Amino acid sequence: MTAAQPEIQRSRHRVVSGTESAGTEPAAPSVTRGRDVIRTHLKLLPNSPGVYRMVDAKGQVLYVGKAKSLKKRVASYANSTGLTTRILGMVASTVDMEFITTHTEVEALLLESNLIKELKPRYNILLRDDKSFPYILITGDHDWAQITKHRGARNRPGEYFGPFASAGAVNETINALQRAFPLRSCSDSVFASRTRPCLQYQIRRCTAPCVDRIGREDYDRIVHEARDFLSGRSRRTQEELSERMQEASASLEFETAAVYRDRIRALTQIQARQGINIPTLGEADVVGVYRDAGQTCIQVFFFRSGQNYGNRAYFPAHAKSDTIEEVLSAFIGQFYADKPPPRLVLTSHGIEGRDLVEQALGVRAGRRVDIRAPRRGAKRQLVEHAVDNGREALARRLAESASQRRLLEGVARTFGLEASPERIEVYDNSHIRGSEALGAMIVAGAEGLLKNQYRKFNIKRSDLTPGDDYGMMTEVLTRRFSRLLREDEDREGGQWPDLVLIDGGAGHLRTAGQVFADLGVTDVALAAIAKGPNRNAGRETFHVQGQPAFSLETNDSVLYFLQRLRDEAHRYAIGGHRAKRSHKLGRSALDEIPGIGAKRKRALLHHFGSVRSVERAGLADLEAVEGVSQRVAKSIYDHFHSGD
């Protein structure tokens, strides 16, 4: 805040009715009693701007409001008419009020937004999602620049591009960029330890500077091109690539020309995927509001450097009587309370006190911020597109099972995910002393368990030590995600999980993390669930990369949900292992002989009584069996006597 800090006046006064005395329970809520509290405070209130808070008997803040004149605004609550039933309920619950005076109404608005986000009062319109936005970072503290996702304080040297609507939008953009600008995405520690190129090099998403497959000058040129593209200079970048392709072709360096051709093609695909867009828009947020069944969805689209950086849906909590304009105004104040606002905010509806909100955002940004509700033209199309997305998001939310949605939201909070996971994959292994080893994957989402997407993995590696659980997990995850990278590298097929949950402990988590590092998978959350002491259910320990291990309360519904997922993966793995073992037990040495099918096998066993007797039989005895020709008898005999 550039203006002087607001002066703070905290006035605490409790009105005691005739039936209430010290040491007794507070009286039941009463509108008359609440108005008495308000009138008592009115005597000391100034006509200056400020923020007021209404507090209940438990000391919890009921409502935070701002006012151009504290005295006039608070006086409106003491009137006997003009208040809705909901506001009358708030007045009845009020036993105390607190005030902060400010120099200007703009300061009051900024302070109100901050306090609402911090205190989350029951009677305010609340923005419940307050996660920070991620950025793309091209690092500047390493000889070979890394392109990576970044969230939090921007204290690492390098150039930041964003904000993006979500981690998914960043990951999608990085994946697309790597096709046009094959820069490394691995961490510095992985980069330093590489001795051979990873899968990202094999699929042409990295130039493998870790093993000197590219020179410094050529790599720095790609870094420069990526910066230009992210800064909105995509046309210049494409023209430069086209010129180099022509030069390489003229010099008969057709392989080099083909590389430039593929990069130009990838760049074109990135631009084609932008959807509805205005290249000249520059820096703007597009905010669309849709309401149905008493609920509101606000969709925010982010445009930076002429590019669409994704969108995010919000479902603010509010009363049914609140108008769209009131909800939108409260949303914008809280949304930018801890985020830098862009130069332009396009909205689907007008907002209350637009001039005041613009001034407040300008104070926060340190420059002018415009808020407009366009009525026609390309900008109106953008707003309508946001409203359409809001309609679809709200329809999905209303159609979802409320209990399942709460569980997935709880999973997101537990593991620090960007949003509720749409797809969770759980992995487990099963074997008996290393024999008939099998890996299993189950899938869960908003509709529950997706059994048609379960998968089994027969362990194929012959160099594994029997019972090597880590080695089996490495094979399963490598096969699963290598295939995803080959078949759905753009993450458009709906097969990429938001969360991978491993049945195991810290060692299993490290193993999975190493597989992801080797494959260059950076956009899938990893966690492990370890059984409690003595394998007690309810005392499980959870492991997440970069965090200490933790447990959940034994009565936590999210814990029960994760236990069910773990148990389902275990059931599926055990079932697959038993079926595999039973199949093997049902086989005999006769199944290994070419030309012996079920009918001949049955005839031989009926004739001789056992496989052992077949093994000892002479050639003439074998020929005597019905359906066994001389040639087949010779094949059977040779199979059992080849070592004689």
pLDDT computed for residue 138 by the predictor = 93
Count of C-beta atoms within a 10 Å radius of residue 353: 16
Buried b (16+ CB within 10 A) or exposed e, 249-270: eeeeeeeebebbbebbebbeeb
Quote the pLDDT of residue 601. Answer: 79
- Give the pLDDT of residue 13: 38
**Which CATH number covers residue 428?**
3.30.420.340
pLDDT > 90? residue 289:
yes
**538 and 503 in a common domain:** yes
Q: Find the mean pLDDT for residues 46-51.
A: 91
Is residue 151 situated within a structural domain? no
Residues 534 and 421 both lie in one domain:
yes
Q: Does residue 343 carry a pLDDT above 60?
A: yes
* Per-residue pLDDT at 273 exceeds 70: no
| Range 549-572 average pLDDT | 90
Decide the pairing of beta strands 448-449 and 423-432.
Answer: unpaired
- Among 119, 143, 171, where does a domain finish? 119
Among the ranges 184-193, 270-279, 424-433, which has the highest mean pLDDT value?
Answer: 184-193
CB 412 within 8 A of CB 421: yes
pLDDT tens, 429-438? 886 554 567 8
Residue 15: its pLDDT value, please?
A: 37
Beta strands in 293-353 (DSSP E): 295-304, 307-314, 344-347
Q: How far is CA 609 from CA 129, 220, 421, 584, 612, in A?
A: 73, 76, 58, 20, 9
Instruction: Give the span between the Cα atoms of 36 and 30, in whole angstroms.
Output: 10
Q: How far apart are CA 45 and CA 105, in angstroms?
A: 16
pLDDT bin (cut points 50, 70, 90) of residue 571 is confident
CA dihedral 39, 41, 44, 50 (to 10 degrees): -110
CATH code of 100's domain: 3.40.1440.10
| Number of structural domains in the chain | 4
Residue 2 — pLDDT band, cuts 50, 70, 90? very low
Q: What's the domain range around 629?
A: 589-641
In a shared domain, residues 316 and 421: no
3-state secondary structure (DSSP) of residue 512: helix
Beta-carbon contacts of residue 365 (< 8 Å; ≥ 6 apart): 340, 341, 343
Sequence-ordered list of residues with C-beta below 8 angstroms from that of 444, at least 6 positions apart, any chain: 423, 424, 426, 450, 565
Specify whether 492 is located in the same domain as 354: no
At 290 the pLDDT is 95
The pLDDT of residue 478 is 93
In the beta sheet, which residues pair with residue 292?
Answer: 295
Question: pLDDT tens digit string along 193-221?
Answer: 888 888 888 888 899 999 999 999 989 98
More confident residue, 172 or 287: 287
Decide if 522 is inside a domain.
Answer: yes
Can you give the CATH number for the domain in which 601 is found? 1.10.150.20
Residue type, 446: A
Residues 520, 436 within the same domain: yes
Q: Mark whether 416 and 559 lie in a shared domain.
A: yes
- List, for residues 125-146, the tens digit of each pLDDT value: 998 766 678 889 999 999 999 9
Query: pLDDT: is 262 or 497 the higher one?
Result: 497
Examine residue 542 and state whether it is found in any structural domain, yes or no. yes
Cα 473 from Cα 513, distance rounded (Å): 11
Whether residues 525 and 573 share a domain: the answer is yes
DSSP bridge pairs for 525: 499
Q: Which of 264-268, 324-328, 335-339, 516-520 has the lowest mean pLDDT?
A: 264-268
Asked which of 62, 87, 119 is the last residue of a domain, the reply is 119
Q: Which long-range contacts (CB under 8 A, 24 or more apart) does 360-366 make?
A: 360/106, 360/109, 360/110, 360/113, 360/333, 361/332, 361/336, 363/1, 363/2, 363/3, 363/106, 363/107, 363/110, 364/1, 364/110, 364/336, 364/340, 365/340, 365/341, 366/2
Q: Is the pLDDT of residue 12 over 50?
A: no
Position 190 in a domain: no
Encoded tokens for 349 = 């509806």
Bigger pLDDT: 628 vs 269: 628
> Checking phi first, is residue 275 left (phi over 0); if not, alpha (psi -120 to 50) or beta?
left
**Residue 58 structure tokens:** 């438990």
pLDDT value of residue 477: 94
Residue 339 has pLDDT above 60, yes or no: yes
pLDDT of residue 399: 73
Asked if residue 572 and residue 430 are part of one domain, the reply reads yes
Q: Does residue 543 register a pLDDT over 70?
A: yes
| 476 plus 614 within the same structural domain | no
Say which CATH number the domain at 344 has.
3.30.420
Q: Token pair for residue 249?
A: 């072709």
**In terms of C-beta distances under 8 Å and separation of at least 24 residues, what long-range contacts does 80-86 make, across chains too?**
80/35, 84/321, 86/123, 86/319, 86/321
- The band of 365, judged by pLDDT with boundaries at 50, 70 and 90, is confident
Q: How confident is the model at residue 27 (pLDDT cuts 50, 70, 90)?
A: low
Share of the chain above pLDDT 90, in %: 33
What one-character DSSP code corresponds to residue 640?
H
pLDDT at residue number 387? 95
Taking residues 98-106, report their average pLDDT: 91
| Percent above pLDDT 70 for the chain | 87
Summary mean pLDDT of the chain: 83
Domain end residue (candidates: 584, 616, 633) = 584
Verify that 314 and 438 share a domain, yes or no.
Answer: no
**Average pLDDT, stretch 578-601?**
67
Determine the Cα–Cα distance for residues 432 and 34; give it in Å rounded to an integer: 71
Report pLDDT digits (tens) over 484-512: 988 887 777 788 999 999 999 999 999 99
User: What pLDDT does 4 receive?
Assistant: 39
Q: Does 164 map to a domain? A: no
In a domain, 548, yes or no: yes
290: number of Cβ within 10 Å: 22
pLDDT for 271: 60
- Helix/strand/coil for 448: strand
- Residue 248 CA to residue 497 CA, distance in Å, equals 41
Report how far residue 561's alpha carbon sits from residue 424's, in angstroms, rounded to the nearest whole number: 12
Cβ-contact 62, 106 below 8 angstroms: no
Looking at the structure, do residues 293 and 345 belong to the same domain, yes or no?
yes
DSSP codes, 199-213: HHHHTTS---GGGTS
| Together in a domain, 470 and 559 | yes
Q: Which of 195, 227, 220 is nearest to 143 (CA)?
A: 220
| Residue 71 and residue 52 in contact, taking contact as beta carbons nearer than 8 Å | no
Position 430 in a domain: yes
**pLDDT-based confidence at residue 175 (cuts at 50, 70, 90):** confident
- How confident is the model at residue 401, as a pLDDT? 65
Tally of helices (H runs) and strands (E runs) in the chain: 21, 18
Selection from 34, 33, 37, 29 nearest residue 12 by Cα: 37
Q: Is residue 23 predicted with pLDDT exceeding 70? A: no
Residue 628 forms part of a structural domain? yes
Q: Which of 73-77, 225-229, 432-436, 587-591 has the lowest mean pLDDT?
A: 432-436
Paired tokens of 425: 């994959």
